[in-house]
Amino acid sequence: MRLDEFAGANAGYVLELYERYRQNPESVDPETRKAFESWDAPTEQPQPSTVAGAGLEVGPSIDIRKVVGAANLAECIRRYGHLAAQLDPLGSPPIGDPSLSPAAHGITDEDLRQLPASLVDGPAAQSAANAFEAIEKLRRIYCSTTGFDYAHVFVPEEREWLRRAAESGRFLPPMDAHSMEAVLDRVTQIEAFERFLQRTFPGKTRFSLEGVDMLVPILDEIICGAADHGARHGVLAMAHRGRLNVLAHVLDKPYAQILAEFKDPVAARSFRTDLGWMGDVKYHAGARTAAPRGQMYITMPPNPSHLEAVDPVAVGMARAAGTRAGQRGAAHFDGAITVPILIHGDAAFPGQGIVAETLNLSRLPGYSTGGTIHIIANNQLGFTATAEDSYSTSYASGLARGFKIPIVHVNADDPVACLEAAHLAWEYRARFGLDFLIDLVGYRRYGHNEGDEPSFTQPTMYKKIAAHPTVRELWARTLVDKGTIPPDLPESLVRKYFSELESIYASLKPEQEYAPPLPTKAPAGAAARVATGVPLDRLREINEALLVRPEGFTFNRKLERGLERRRSAFANPTERSIDWATAEELAFATILADGIPIRMTGEDVERGTFSHRHAVFHDANTGKQLIPLQEFPQARASFEIHNSPLSENAVVGFEFGYNVQEPGRLVVWEAQYGDFINGAQVMLDQFITSGRAKWGLAPSLVFLLPHGYEGQGPEHSSARPERFLDAAADINLRLVNCTTAAQLFHVLRRQAALLERDPLPLIVLSPKSLLRHPAVASTPRELEEGRFLSVIDDDAARGRAGGIERVVLCSGKVYVDLVTSDRRGAAANVAVCRVEQLYPFPKIALNEVLGRYRSVRDVVWLQEEPENMGAWNFMRPEFEELIGDRCPLRYIGRARSASTSEGSAAWHQLNQKMLVEQAFDLRSPAPEPSMVLSKEV
Ligand SMILES: Cc1ncc(C[n+]2csc(CCOP(=O)(O)OP(=O)(O)O)c2C)c(N)n1
């Protein structure tokens, strides 16, 4: 071992070790001791040794501690220099760190002057005369208006790349006059837009960008860089702040349209409600560039007020845009062609859990985007709350550290530093395919919105802001002072952009010319006309192909029996041999054979929560995977399935984004249990059920939500169908509760057929214990000849319709409880009919069924859920209208309750039994107080 084999901090470390060894050989580990024993010790031997091969002679004249101190100081500046960077344009002092001073390392500036620059290592050392100069250079890099914060990046190659990138300055923007003037031109355009709106619409909410104006040039830089690198799709997501400016200048939304929208047109077309169109405020609107930048189109999804909720949506859109799915096998994702950019708020980023959920998707094979670029538009306030009120981390960006995302904090008043950060961001993404974060530290020129008074809560800060020049003014002054531009240029640029806006405003066309296009209406009854049956021979062939065993693949023994059963499923077309899982797999397979790609995700979906799916087999000896839906030769599109991370909110948002970006693919998300969907309630309310009414989006995502009362307690019984029914209006979703395998087969195939013709989200309340119940199994013939039935009449009762005195209408698993009960045989006067589709309400089909039973004494809606839950509140007015005064309507179900179900299986059984008894008991209801109600309404 020779000392000159080590460089910079490593040399310092080795010397420190050596010094320790010299003091006490036992203080170092045996291997190191052995190495030092054979080392020609520099202080004991007169022959000098060199550090970093740069001519430092370590001999009796040099104090090793100074060498170690210098090397450690350099390392501390690299690690903690950002703590001393001047990031706040308003001048608040950085917190600093003691380790950044030479004294902390037992050295002085004079000592540093005596040491060679090579101790500092890297580009900063290259043209420096000594260590002092190199350290000063390092300070200018790490403690200036940029804070490079990457020490948490674990992978040495990435960290070294970042170090070189920061220290070499190779991503600094070109400093020629033309480039510098172009920056001035751009910031003038950005500022003029805001000032024009302020002057023309005083006090009107626009959520001005002012204070972090450099956001737009940063986006320009990232987009141009990514486009040059071959990206074709950019997805840009942001909340309200600065959105109008970004829409105008990055998405190229015409000024005329923005100005017209500011006038809030009262045009007849905007008030059209025939499709449930309600629209949304202007700073939630989405957009897509009309022409590409390079070859790259940029899309900005619309977003709700719920901060950060759009993050996973945008990431899902980018994933879809970069995925090729039109071939058999697995889907192919290429991160190079798609770039998501998320713009966050400094209070929202640390505060909203959806951010952490989204960051957690970044490196997962089923979700990664090849790197998402994050920008925190950090105006140091969240409404009125300060950083101290808002986060426990040192920076707003702290959360990103845990995900090993490099962070660059940058002062928003320094255009050069901002552009360097932007260039670094896209180069890093292009190089490593990983996330990057820019923390753009600025301020907010006005209140939370333009009508808000910020001095109520931040009086001193707003005094500073009032006196603080804009970035345009600062930059103009810099360029004029340097002689780069003539002194009158800044004002003439301001006049140019103002007069452009003024003339557009003066020549606005009638407001309705700018009204957004409304969603198109699907042809009425499209769903009812879809043929979903598949010829038996075709099904048999596909079933056999799915069961092909690859040479040498060993299945788990416990799965063998099921596989054998599957093999004979088509032996007899009228035998109930198709269980739920088989129906699902055959539905998927036939959809793939029709050329429609499928993406399925959810917690543990590969196997299925209830161990019923086994879409992915694992070789019992090697663990190697087999995915039959990717292998069978009839497939004409890709099948991807991924176990999701343990998240509901972000993953549902992600699938929604994927779905709206690529509406021609069937996207299925399954909840572990249906009740967990409330973790994604924001996504349901803000995007899925209202997206069409607000923004004209047309999601067709499928939700499989295990639902049914089986005594597992309040948390695993109900998928809360009432929440979907509460949000159901203007035909915005389909909600089904299937009771047979064939029904599932047909409803999935129907959904696939309607993806582009009549897209709607499909919510399937799926079974648990019924997955293997013989009562839900179907015959092959039902797959061939059937179709999805929104209502299923009682076959047994139809033949004796005249004698039926009660029609019990119910949905889902409770039907099986009813027809398998002992009471059923004795109750020949009761028909039990299934409402398989809860929404859209199947009025025609129900009318037909009820019309068959002319002598009924009452019609019952029976449900397992408490009276204030389930479908009852939604169904009741529909039934009342349908039944009119033909007969009374009766409710049978659990009484109103704050909790979804009993916490004890025994109690559940008791109530379930009572439900069944009351269904078949036409006398007055039992008088004793109970959890179960039977009442006329
Ligand atoms: C989920 C959610 N909670 C609360 C709000 C109300 N709200 C709107 S803006 C805002 C402050 C956001 O601060 P920050 O993230 O720093 O962004 P800024 O507005 O400062 O750009 C709040 C609390 C919201 N829109 N969404």
What string of DSSP letters covers 738-799? --SHHHHHHHHHHHHHHTTTS---EEEEE-SGGGG-GGG-B-HHHHHH----SEE--HHHHT
pLDDT given at position 95:
93
Q: List, for residues 360-410, the tens digit of each pLDDT value.
A: 999 999 999 999 999 999 999 999 999 999 999 999 999 999 999 999 999
Give residue 708's region: left, alpha or beta (phi > 0; psi -120 to 50): left
> Is 241 touching ligand 1 by the criterion CB < 6 Å?
yes
Which atom of ligand 1 approaches the CA of 242 most closely? Answer: 21
- In sequence order, the 6+-apart residues with CB closer than 8 A to the CB of 571 are 577
> Is 452 touching ligand 1 by the criterion CB < 6 Å?
no
Mean pLDDT in residue range 174-189: 96
Q: List, for residues 56-95, the tens digit of each pLDDT value.
A: 444 445 678 899 999 999 999 999 999 999 999 999 999 9
Q: Whose CA is nearest to atom 13 of ligand 1?
A: 382
> Is 307 touching ligand 1 by the criterion CB < 6 Å?
yes
Ligand 1 centre distance from Cα of residue 343 (Å): 13
Residue 756 has pLDDT above 70, yes or no: yes
* Confidence bin at 21 (pLDDT 50/70/90): confident
Q: Ligand 1: which of 206, 209, 307, 357 to mutate, judged by most atoms within 8 Å of the beta carbon?
A: 307
What percent of the chain lies above the pLDDT cut of 70?
92
Ligand 1 centre distance from Cα of residue 384 (Å): 10
Q: List, for residues 225-262, the tens digit of each pLDDT value.
A: 999 999 999 999 999 999 999 999 999 999 999 998 88
Give residue 809's region: left, alpha or beta (phi > 0; psi -120 to 50): beta
> Is 215 touching ligand 1 by the criterion CB < 6 Å?
no
pLDDT given at position 519:
66
> Is 679 touching ligand 1 by the criterion CB < 6 Å?
no
Which atom of ligand 1 approaches the CA of 348 most closely? Answer: 15
Q: How far is CA 277 from CA 246, 300, 309, 756, in A?
A: 25, 20, 22, 19
Ligand 1 centre distance from Cα of residue 354 (Å): 14
* Confidence bin at 10 (pLDDT 50/70/90): low
Mean pLDDT in residue range 17-37: 74
Which atom of ligand 1 approaches the CA of 444 most closely? Answer: 20
Give CA–CA dist 626/619, Å, rounded: 8
Assess whether the previous peptide bond of 202 is cis (omega < 30° from 0): no
pLDDT given at position 761:
98
Ligand 1 centre distance from Cα of residue 184 (Å): 30
User: E-strand spans in 770-910?
Assistant: 791-792, 806-810, 830-835, 837-839, 858-866, 889-894
Mean pLDDT in residue range 457-474: 97
Q: 844 or 285: whose pLDDT is higher?
A: 844
Ligand 1 centre distance from Cα of residue 850 (Å): 52
Q: List, for residues 776-808, the tens digit of each pLDDT value.
A: 999 999 999 999 999 999 999 998 999 999 999
Of the ranges 3-7, 62-66, 310-314, 400-404, which one carries the lowest mean pLDDT score?
A: 3-7
Ligand 1 centre distance from Cα of residue 447 (Å): 12
Q: Indicate yes or no: pTM above 0.75.
A: yes
Q: List, for residues 596-645, the tens digit of each pLDDT value.
A: 999 999 999 999 999 999 999 999 999 999 999 999 999 999 999 999 99
Residue 377 Cα to chain centre, angstroms: 19
Which residue in 59, 67, 77, 76 sits closest to 13, CA to CA?
Answer: 67
Residue 267 has pLDDT above 70, yes or no: no
Ligand 1 centre distance from Cα of residue 206 (Å): 14
Which atom of ligand 1 approaches the CA of 382 most closely? Answer: 13
> Is 343 touching ligand 1 by the criterion CB < 6 Å?
no
> Is 86 touching ligand 1 by the criterion CB < 6 Å?
no
Which atom of ligand 1 approaches the CA of 309 most closely? Answer: 1
Q: Dihedral, CA atoms, 410, 415, 418, 420, nearest 10 degrees?
A: -130
* Confidence bin at 513 (pLDDT 50/70/90): confident
What are the structure tokens assigned to 493, written together? Answer: 């640029």
Mean pLDDT in residue range 104-128: 93
> Is 381 touching ligand 1 by the criterion CB < 6 Å?
yes
Q: Whose CA is nearest to atom 26 of ligand 1?
A: 306
What are the structure tokens assigned to 930, written together? Answer: 């109970």
pLDDT given at position 268:
43
Ligand 1 centre distance from Cα of residue 209 (Å): 14
Ligand 1 centre distance from Cα of residue 237 (Å): 15
Give CA–CA dist 321/14, Å, rounded: 50
Q: Whose CA is nearest to atom 12 of ligand 1?
A: 382
pLDDT given at position 524:
74
Q: Whose CA is nearest to atom 10 of ligand 1?
A: 383
| Residues found in the chain | 937
Q: Position of tokens 């845990």?
A: 402
Contact indicator for 373, 380 with CB cutoff of 8 Å: no
Q: How far is CA 568 from CA 414, 547, 573, 866, in A?
A: 72, 11, 11, 42
Give the chain's mean pLDDT.
Answer: 92
Residue 40 has pLDDT above 70, yes or no: no
Residue 693's identity, in one-letter code, is A
Ligand 1 centre distance from Cα of residue 136 (Å): 40
Number of C-beta neighbours around residue 37 at 10 A: 10
> Is 346 touching ligand 1 by the criterion CB < 6 Å?
yes
Give CA–CA dist 784/763, Å, rounded: 24
Helices (H), 270-344: 310-321
> Is 711 touching ligand 1 by the criterion CB < 6 Å?
no
* Confidence bin at 52 (pLDDT 50/70/90): very low
Residue 523 has pLDDT above 80, yes or no: no
Q: Whose CA is nearest to atom 1 of ligand 1?
A: 306
Ligand 1 centre distance from Cα of residue 239 (Å): 9
Residue 710 DSSP label: S
What percent of the chain lies above the pLDDT cut of 90?
82
Q: 578 or 937: whose pLDDT is higher?
A: 578
Q: Ligand 1: which of 210, 305, 310, 383 to mutate, judged by most atoms within 8 Å of the beta carbon?
A: 383
Opening angle at CA 554, ends 549 and 558, nearest 5: 105
> Is 396 touching ligand 1 by the criterion CB < 6 Å?
no
* Confidence bin at 42 (pLDDT 50/70/90): very low
Of the ranges 50-54, 198-202, 867-871, 891-895, which one carries the lowest mean pLDDT score?
A: 50-54
* Confidence bin at 451 (pLDDT 50/70/90): confident
Contact indicator for 882, 920 with CB cutoff of 8 Å: no
Give CA–CA dist 905/507, Å, rounded: 72
**Radius of gyration, alpha carbons of the chain:** 34
Q: What is the DSSP string of 85-107?
A: S---TT-PPP---GGGSGGGGT-
Residue 528 has pLDDT above 90, yes or no: no
Mean pLDDT in residue range 693-702: 93
Q: 514 or 754: whose pLDDT is higher?
A: 754
